[in-house]
Structure 1
């Protein structure tokens, strides 16, 4: 069902939209899409990238999360609420990453398909805490998962817009070829690192799927959780420094969306290199346009090249 009439927003949501300033109203009024365009709302930067690649010029994607914004604890804007109310399809990452989404969908009165891109994936277990009860949400760091995620998106598009099903299938096939090439390239580059140097210390536990896929060793993380709101205690920092020294890890990797201060402290105490700044990894989110992590493919290539250069001891 393409471009249904705008659903009536509940009065509480209308109040939010009206008091949220003119920006949301004006943006909605000036962003007319060509007739027949499938209106898609995508939650995270990665999901939006997948949604665009599968949809091509047949879809208009409203991306909720902006680059380098923490997806774990986000508060949607009035424009996000209105976009959901007018959408044909909503796509989310799942695995409880967007804990804020369901109430917003209900408030917006959206009754269309919500694609949980994580359905059918093998989810890494958490530590049993409330924050990690659903498991590790960073599923996109294994390219094989991305192929399943984009297939779910293509299926939803074709169901809502059968007239353009062939276009979505062709887009999916083309993107799958790029994902397969990426996967093979990462594997070859990781194999170039001496086996005893394939050890990772990161800002937070966001690269578990990548580590599992490419047979790296996870030494520890500065934030001891999948959720970036968690923090290390002084004793945990000391324990992590001890682990780094005992494991013979050679670098601590900061992330572009997180402050590097604690990573720099731990690196200094452990006597190892800290990779930050322009070389920081992209963990939870893509980077802005023009950055090394502007798309999913660029993000994973950048992360891999950064890891390989640092762990092999070569210049970045």
Structure 2
């Protein structure tokens, strides 16, 4: 979905320093004036966008590997790029609460593409079927004037963890870019079709890998609550997370930790997974307390961010393959060969 700056965001009050930077950016440009310039937020959205545009347009990513989208402070250079951008692509679903201030500080006047448009938001541990049922019940109980309120309820913003959702995000980004830059429409649509084909192959490979494991043994414990759509898509039981919230900057209480350890012991979870963008110290401590294995360091899951250069998980597809291989290892099965179509994607 593409919207204008004024249509998509309310302009909030911002600090004087940010306004000062903004005033100095107006009229500045970091590239030739004829270049169609795209700025992206998260590493996932950046990867999707680059697969769509190829060499046709310039893409500037705000977030780098291992930076949290929940709390990000754009640099002066980031604001400069935003000020000159034709389009900003966001992950959406309220993942990036800092965007309003950044757009105001940069005096951004371009189009905003929200990659989350049309994607059903789920609560932690909820499946799409459960969400639909809950929505139906809520609609039946609400007065007619409130019949659409539930559509705006908060949910897990980590929508990309499901490859099926990733396909929808790519479609949304493509539609927005075609509308904003019709001159390159054929390039965007052709590249998008090719990439969506790769995502479909990835989805099938993930399904086949997960199905090697008995449903009752597909148990997952992570550093923070970020895999709602992945576990819903592939029939995995999300036992819990050390940080019991969607925000990776939140801190668990002692009671949260004790409750998680008890659930781990009750369910027979074999391992805890740290995440690449979060310190593994708590995961290691909980694993020691529960007397189970912990996957950390190079064996961390990629959730809020893709891997740095050289990690082997620099792209959405390679990071997803990395995650599934780790799950297979924890669940005691051998990962299936990666299809040739996505082996180096």
Normalising by structure 2, report the TM-score: 0.80
Unpaired runs of 5+ residues, structure 2, are 1-15, 126-151, 336-345
Q: CA deviation at 1:15?
A: 3.7
1:63 corresponds to which residue?
61
Paired with 2:212 and 2:269, the residues of 1 have a C-alpha distance of: 17
Alignment of structure 1 residues 163-242 onto 2, 5 Å = 163-242=183-262
Q: How many pairs are equivalent?
A: 292
2:21 corresponds to which residue?
16
Question: Of 265, 290, 300, which aligns to 2:285?
Answer: 265
Paired with 1:17 and 1:90, the residues of 2 have a C-alpha distance of: 17
Paired with 1:313 and 1:182, the residues of 2 have a C-alpha distance of: 18
Question: Of 298, 303, 307, which aligns to 1:278?
Answer: 298
Query: Could you tell me whether the CA contact under 8 Å between 1:194 and 1:312 is conserved in 2?
Result: no
Question: Of 81, 86, 89, which aligns to 1:88?
Answer: 86
Query: Could you tell me whether the CA contact under 8 Å between 2:123 and 2:228 is conserved in 1?
Result: no
Query: Could you tell me whether the CA contact under 8 Å between 1:75 and 1:100 is conserved in 2?
Result: yes
Paired with 2:174 and 2:153, the residues of 1 have a C-alpha distance of: 29
Query: Could you tell me whether the CA contact under 8 Å between 2:19 and 2:105 is conserved in 1?
Result: no
SS at match of 1:188: helix
Query: Could you tell me whether the CA contact under 8 Å between 2:221 and 2:271 is conserved in 1?
Result: yes
Moved over 4 A (4+): 11-14
Q: CA deviation at 1:160?
A: 2.1
2:174 corresponds to which residue?
154
Normalising by structure 1, report the TM-score: 0.87
Provide the alpha-carbon RMSD of the alignment: 2.3
Paired with 1:313 and 1:175, the residues of 2 have a C-alpha distance of: 29
Paired with 1:126 and 1:250, the residues of 2 have a C-alpha distance of: 21
Paired with 2:235 and 2:34, the residues of 1 have a C-alpha distance of: 45
SS at match of 1:58: coil
SS at match of 2:54: helix
1:292 corresponds to which residue?
312
